[in-house]
Amino acid sequence: MINNKVLTVVMPAYNAEKTLAQTLEEVPMDIVDHIILVDDKSRDNTVETARQLGIEYVITHEENKGYGANQKTCYDMAIDTGSDIVIMLHPDYQYTPKLIHAMAYIIADDVYKVVFGSRILGNDALKNGMPLYKYLSNRFLTFFQNLLMHKKLSEYHTGYRAFSTEVLKNVNYHLCSDDFIFDNQIIAQIFHKGYEIAEVTCPTKYFAEASSINFKRSLKYGFGCLNVAFRYFMHKTGLLKYDLLQK
């Protein structure tokens, strides 16, 4: 618990057997009240490993539903457990759990309601192994997303995110895609509801076991991001009703 607020870490998992223990080892249990792992029909022993490690809530999807659908289950469960702060941490050890303190306190102290761990702020993404095409596409997409959405985020594509439960209750994330574009659709909803997003510098690791999407799916995701930003722009200028922004 942090400032009398219940803190829950949610882990959307897919084939995370080899990295789960290492990730869990660095989670600061002095402030974390609950850990929820949702397994999206992994092909390895992620579920068995999670239970052996003593994770409190282990939820399994009977079929592979997608990254967005996994997050929906994570957030639903976090809300059901009475959480005040929810931090999404990937169990592939790509993002360091050591930033949980910093991200949680920003929300617990009522400075911001949403905090992202940014791989770009520290200027070490390439040095830490981010593929050049991913880095360039990240910068390209973020530039145009900021332009269309009138914001100044360093990146829209990080998977390390902390939310006040208030935000999750006030946006309709169930309307979002079950695929990777979920991440950008929920950002559009967050901005539409008048919330701002804080960012903290996050070193990121790239290695064989870290999750990643291939070039073809990355391309689809990129066009999806531009579509979300353009429709958000059209909605804000009154030229188009963007259904994902409606409660």
Instruction: Give me the CATH topology for the region 7-245.
Output: Spore Coat Polysaccharide Biosynthesis Protein SpsA; Chain A (3.90.550)
pLDDT at 209: 56
Is a pLDDT exceeding 60 seen at residue 247?
no
Percent of the chain with pLDDT over 70: 96
- Is residue 2 classed exposed, middle or buried when 0-12, 13-18 and 19+ CB atoms within 10 A define those classes? buried
- The string of pLDDT tens digits covering residues 86-106 is 999 999 999 999 999 999 999
- Longest CA pairwise span in the chain (Å): 53
Mean pLDDT for 105-119 is 97
Domain ranges of the chain: 7-245
Specify the 3-state DSSP secondary structure of 215. Answer: helix
Residue 61 near residue 39 (C-beta atoms within 8 A)? yes
What pairs with residue 204 in β-bridges?
Answer: 95
pLDDT, mean over the chain: 93
pLDDT level of residue 200 (50, 70, 90 thresholds):
very high
Is a pLDDT exceeding 70 seen at residue 152?
yes
Q: Taking Cα atoms as reference points, which of 146, 96, 85 lies closest to residue 118?
A: 96
Higher pLDDT: 217 or 23? It is: 23
Give the span between the Cα atoms of 128 and 124, in whole angstroms: 6
Q: How many CB atoms lie within 10 A of CB 242?
A: 18
Residue 204 near residue 119 (C-beta atoms within 8 A)? yes
Entry pTM: 0.93
Specify the 3-state DSSP secondary structure of 7. Answer: strand
